């Protein structure tokens, strides 16, 4: 009987220690899974908010530009639309300030949640087209005659048509990535971790 006691003690200790390690390992693994699922859900929620915010703002800016374009074309054609032109210009100025006040934040949000390709799309296609259209508006306002103003407004209209397609495709791209869960750290061309470290 006394010979069995050391075997029992050793068996008990091994079972307790091994059981403790195994229990701790399984608990940590479960916690990591739960934490990862929580982080993933939060990442998807934030990506959805970024998509909605950026898409709504660029749509809003484009629509205000279209309204201003229509009023300027009417005015350039000699119609009395002064009462429409000033409110359209004021509405566009307001959204322009809203857009420019957070421009780099929006580039960063899109890059962080949808990858470098989406950020470049927003900057190089959408934003660059906004800038070109805006330059045509300014030149139309400074034009000496109706013909020169009309040519600049026609160019602005062409840019806004192209802009509509850029905005639509970018929004569809971001929504498809959301649907597939390929956002944030899971984005196809996620920003590299080294970029996020301060220099």
pLDDT at 80: 80
How many Å separate Cα 121 from the centre of its chain?
10
The number of folded domains in the chain is: 2
Q: How many residues does the chain have?
A: 199
Residues 84 and 119 in one domain: yes
Would the CA dihedral through 63, 123, 165, 74 be positive or negative? Answer: positive
Residues 72 and 28 in one domain: no
pLDDT at 146: 78
Q: Of 123, 133, 122, which is closest to residue 161 (Cα–Cα)?
A: 133
Q: What are phi and psi of 2, to 5 degrees?
A: -70, -25
Residues 179 and 154 in one domain: yes
pLDDT at 9: 65
In a domain, 199, yes or no: no
Residues 18 and 71 in one domain: no
pLDDT at 36: 72
Residues 20 and 103 in one domain: no
Domain boundaries, position 140: 44-193
Mean pLDDT in each 10-residue stretch from start to end of the chain (199 residues)? Answer: 66 70 73 75 92 96 96 84 87 95 94 93 96 94 82 94 94 94 85 52
pLDDT at 77: 80
* Separation of alpha carbons 143 and 149, rounded Å: 5
Residues 125 and 147 in one domain: yes
Tokens coding 128: 């660059």
What lies within 8 Å, CB to CB, of 29 at 6+ separation is none
Would the CA dihedral through 73, 76, 78, 79 be positive or negative? Answer: positive
Q: Is the pTM of this model over 0.75?
A: yes
Residues 18 and 86 in one domain: no
Residues 11 and 103 in one domain: no
In angstroms, the Cα distances linking 198 to 10, 39, 114, 136, 195 are: 53, 23, 21, 39, 8
Q: Of 131, 132, 130, 153, which is closest to residue 141 (Cα–Cα)?
A: 153
Residues 32 and 78 in one domain: no
Which parts of the chain are beta strand (E)? none
Residues 4 and 66 in one domain: no
């Amino acid at each position: 009987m006394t010979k069995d006691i050391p075997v029992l003690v050793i068996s008990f200790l091994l079972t307790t220690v091994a059981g403790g390690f195994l229990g701790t390992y399984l608990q940590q693994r479960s916690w990591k899974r739960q934490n990862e699922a929580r982080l993933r859900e939060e990442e998807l929620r934030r990506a959805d908010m970024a998509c909605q915010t950026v898409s709504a703002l660029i749509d809003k800016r484009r629509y205000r530009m279209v309204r201003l374009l229509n009023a300027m074309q009417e005015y350039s054609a000699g119609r009395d639309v002064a009462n429409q032109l000033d409110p359209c210009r004021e509405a566009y100025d307001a959204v322009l300030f809203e857009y420019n006040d957070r421009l780099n934040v929006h580039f960063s949000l899109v890059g962080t949640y949808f990858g470098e390709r989406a950020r470049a799309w927003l900057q190089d296609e959408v934003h660059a087209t906004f800038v070109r259209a805006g330059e045509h508006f300014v030149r139309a306002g400074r034009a000496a005659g109706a013909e020169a103003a009309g040519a600049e407004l026609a160019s602005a209209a062409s840019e806004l048509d192209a802009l509509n397609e850029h905005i639509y495709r970018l929004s569809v791209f971001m929504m498809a990535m959301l649907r597939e869960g390929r956002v944030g750290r899971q984005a196809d061309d996620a920003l590299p971790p080294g970029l996020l470290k301060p220099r």
